[in-house]
């Protein structure tokens, strides 16, 4: 007894994909690896505002809350310049607060072991970060200031960041100096002059 088996249909690479918009194969890659990490450009911010907030935020900010009796708008996110890089910031009680995980990633990551080290330094320096609201976390995630899976975030003032940055920089220099002290001059001499 012999069974007839039909062959699967042949689809050519040049097929227009009858009924499939854009054809079967994409001309452009679906995903690409950028040459450098993505930055929060005005185009990204405006796109986010248009898609998620209907353009309701004013003054270059993202997000909004209902203005209560003299209540400050704590969900208005602005992009501010820090050391030549744009970072996300919220205005709360007249103070500009910046996203701690974002500035850690941009400025502190190469100076300290990790974010837990930064939190230890904050305690030692008597700096109290402000915990983000759920809406602020959502805005920061949408802007790419924090990773998609992050559910919590803290904010610090510019002045506190500068204090933290100086402390991290000084700690990094101290580590290098301590390492250099450990090197015996005889070993250095032998390494340099005996290939």
What DSSP assignment string belongs to 84-110? TEEEEEEEETTEEEEEHHHHIIIIITT
Cα distances from 120 to residues 60, 125, 132, 154, 176, in angstroms, run: 34, 9, 19, 14, 21
Predicted confidence at residue 121, as pLDDT, reads 94
Residue 136 maps to a domain: yes
**What CATH number does the domain containing 107 carry?**
3.10.260.20
How far apart CA 171 and CA 112 sit, in angstroms, is 8
How far apart CA 62 and CA 53 sit, in angstroms, is 8
Averaged confidence pLDDT in the chain: 72
The DSSP string of 122-156 is HHHTT--PEEPPHHHHHHHHHHTSS-TT----EEE
Q: Are 115 and 106 in contact (CB under 8 A)?
A: no
Predicted confidence at residue 173, as pLDDT, reads 75
Residue 2 maps to a domain: no
Predicted confidence at residue 188, as pLDDT, reads 56
How far apart CA 36 and CA 39 sit, in angstroms, is 9
Predicted confidence at residue 157, as pLDDT, reads 96
Residue 49 maps to a domain: yes
* pLDDT higher at 123 or 52: 123
Mean pLDDT, range 117-130, rounded to an integer: 94
Q: How far is CA 109 from the centre of its chain?
A: 12
Domain count, the chain: 1
Predicted confidence at residue 103, as pLDDT, reads 94
pLDDT of 37-85, one tens digit each? 455 555 655 565 555 544 444 444 555 443 343 445 678 899 999 999 9
How far apart CA 30 and CA 44 sit, in angstroms, is 18
Mean pLDDT, range 7-13, rounded to an integer: 48
* pLDDT higher at 76 or 8: 76
Residue 29 maps to a domain: no
End-to-end, the C-alpha distance of the chain in Å comes to 80
| 87 band by pLDDT with thresholds 50, 70 and 90 | very high
Residue 8 maps to a domain: no
| 31 band by pLDDT with thresholds 50, 70 and 90 | very low
Calculate Rg over the CA atoms of the chain.
Answer: 26
Residue 142 maps to a domain: yes
Q: Are 111 and 169 in contact (CB under 8 A)?
A: yes
How far apart CA 96 and CA 102 sit, in angstroms, is 15
Q: Are 161 and 169 in contact (CB under 8 A)?
A: no
Residue 82 maps to a domain: yes
Residue 23 maps to a domain: no
Predicted confidence at residue 23, as pLDDT, reads 45
- Domain of 79 in residue numbering reads as 42-193
pLDDT of 126-150, one tens digit each? 999 999 999 999 999 999 999 888 8
């Amino acid at each position: 007894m012999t069974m007839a088996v039909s062959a699967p249909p042949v689809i050519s690479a040049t097929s227009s994909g009858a009924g499939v918009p854009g054809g079967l194969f994409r001309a452009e890659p679906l995903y690409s690896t950028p040459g450098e990490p993505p930055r929060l450009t005005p185009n990204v911010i405006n796109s986010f505002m248009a898609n998620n907030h209907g353009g309701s935020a004013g003054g270059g900010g993202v997000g909004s809350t209902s203005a209560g009796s003299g209540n400050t708008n704590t969900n208005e996110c602005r992009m501010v310049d820090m050391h030549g890089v744009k970072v996300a910031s919220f205005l709360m009680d007249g103070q500009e607060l910046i996203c701690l995980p974002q500035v850690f990633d941009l400025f502190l990551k190469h100076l300290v072991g990790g974010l837990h080290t930064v939190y230890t330094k904050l305690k030692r320096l008597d700096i109290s970060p402000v915990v983000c609201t759920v809406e602020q976390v959502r805005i920061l995630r949408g802007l790419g200031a924090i990773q998609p899976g992050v559910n919590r975030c803290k904010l610090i003032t510019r002045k506190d960041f500068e204090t933290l940055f100086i402390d991290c920089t000084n700690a990094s220099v101290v580590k290098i100096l301590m390492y250099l002290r450990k090197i015996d001059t005889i070993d250095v001499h032998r390494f340099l002059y005996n290939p």
